[in-house]
Amino acid sequence: MTLSARLDAPAPRIPAHLEPLLTAEAPRFSAGELTRRREALAAALKEAGASHALLMGGDKRGSALQWLTGWPANTNSNLAIFTPGEKDVLLVPYPNHVAQAQVLAPDCEVIWRAEGSTAVAMDILEKRGAKGTKIGIAGNSSVGFLERIGKLGAIPVDLSRAYAKIRLIKSDEEIDWLRIGCALTDLGLESLADNLRPGMNEHELQALIERGYLPWGGLTQIHFLGLTSMADPDCCVPSQLPRNRAVKSGDMIFTEIAANFWSYPGQVLRSFTVAAEPTPLYRELYAVAEDMFAAVTGVLKPGATARDALDAADCIKKSPFTICDDLVHGYVGGYLQPIIGTHERPSGPVPDMVFRENMTMVVQPSVMTRDAKAGVQTGELVRITKTGFESLHGARPGFRRVGD
């Protein structure tokens, strides 16, 4: 590694050829990758019988708008207009966003006007002959927005499912960006494990996580934490919001962390004991979680089905436990199918899907007692390879003791 230290922060573990992406002022995908995306979106429009696409974005988490334009919209009312053969248009809701949007989305015509993004979008679509045509919508839209399309004389059609299907398979360039996101996520986990001490509260623990990746440009997608006494547990899964509990010796902490590199996040889940060894209950819970992770990843390969993964999860039947969260889900570009639980605790209908190379999946056994008082988590983001799976993370595995 040739990366210099920043704020005494450990360098992310990435291949040397990815360092220019990490250190770039504004990393960009290649022209070939962006052409691939536009061709895929044009094909989805053709299949839907639509002539134009309106893409929404607003959360910096890899919306359709960001995927196409490169602009990580951080508010609502950002819109992108895609018409095959025409220049892409990016509509931003505030005038002070224009300057940076022009840097991050150089292939787009960036527009702000006082009448608002929706009004401008309707004006552009009318000029592009959208009256009487279908317009594909990807992302969240309000009833009022759909009414405006109706007044234009166009017909809105849902493009979100087609977009999600496009995002299932990652390109080689996307996998490179994911390796950086996963390495940044690992830094957040390691910062927590290396620095937490009894007496800290959950807000301080979240600060430790962010300290690991913020110096390298990572953004928080999620950092969920659970904290409870192993002797008298009352928490079976990490919480989405901190509860301001204080860490004590003999506690168990588990976490789910996703740090985001320009909309390409990792996701890693781990469990720790604080200044104590695991109790027999927690050893048993964690052993079951590890068995489930091994069983499910053991069937992940091209040609395997979602039902194969569901059947592999039946190993939990040998234990007295169940699961809380979804066991498997597609990830990056959304919370994607296949979303799988267990036969006993399903996550909905099992999709008729076959795993393919370069699908990226989170496998995350959240094993808990049936009274929902105690639980553990492990797992991470993996990539389907030609012959099996590859973990995209380098975070230390296992049920670790920390905080001494």
Of 158, 168, 255, 260, nearest in space to 214 by CA: 260
Instruction: Give the pLDDT score at 4.
Output: 60
Sheet with 322-323, side-by-side order of all strands: 322-323, 366-368, 375-377
Q: What is the architecture, at CATH level 2, of domain 31-167? A: 3-Layer(aba) Sandwich (3.40)
Instruction: Give the pLDDT score at 1.
Output: 45
The amino acid occupying position 119 is A
Cα dihedral value 178, 309, 158, 177, nearest 10: 0
Instruction: Give the pLDDT score at 7.
Output: 59
- Determine the CATH number of domain 172-402: 3.90.230.10
Print burial letters for 223-233: b (CB count within 10 Å at least 16), e (below 16): bbbbbbbbeeb
Pinpoint the residues of the chain covered by CATH 3.40.350.10: 31-167
Instruction: Give the pLDDT score at 6.
Output: 60
Instruction: Give the pLDDT score at 142.
Output: 87
CA 295 to each of CA 206, 311, 361, 388: distance values in angstroms, whole numbers, following the listed order: 31, 9, 15, 12
Instruction: Give the pLDDT score at 14.
Output: 94
**122 conformational bin, left if phi > 0, alpha if psi -120 to 50, beta if neither:** alpha
Rounded distance between C-alpha atoms, residue 378 and residue 365, angstroms: 6
**Strands 268-274 and 322-323, bridge-based pairing:** unpaired
The amino acid occupying position 178 is L
Rounded distance between C-alpha atoms, residue 193 and residue 8, angstroms: 17
Q: Residues 91, 112: contact at Cβ < 8 Å?
A: yes
Instruction: Give the residue ranges of the chain where pLDDT is below 50.
Output: 1
Of 191, 220, 204, nearest in space to 60 by CA: 220
Instruction: Give the pLDDT score at 99.
Output: 97
Ordered alpha helix ranges (H), 168-301: 172-195, 202-213, 280-297
Pinpoint the residues of the chain covered by CATH 3.90.230.10: 172-402
The pair of three-digit structure tokens given for residue 232, joined into one six-digit string: 């008298």
Q: Residues 328, 361: contact at Cβ < 8 Å?
A: yes
SS3 content of the chain, % helix, strand, coil (to 5): 35, 25, 40
pTM: 0.95
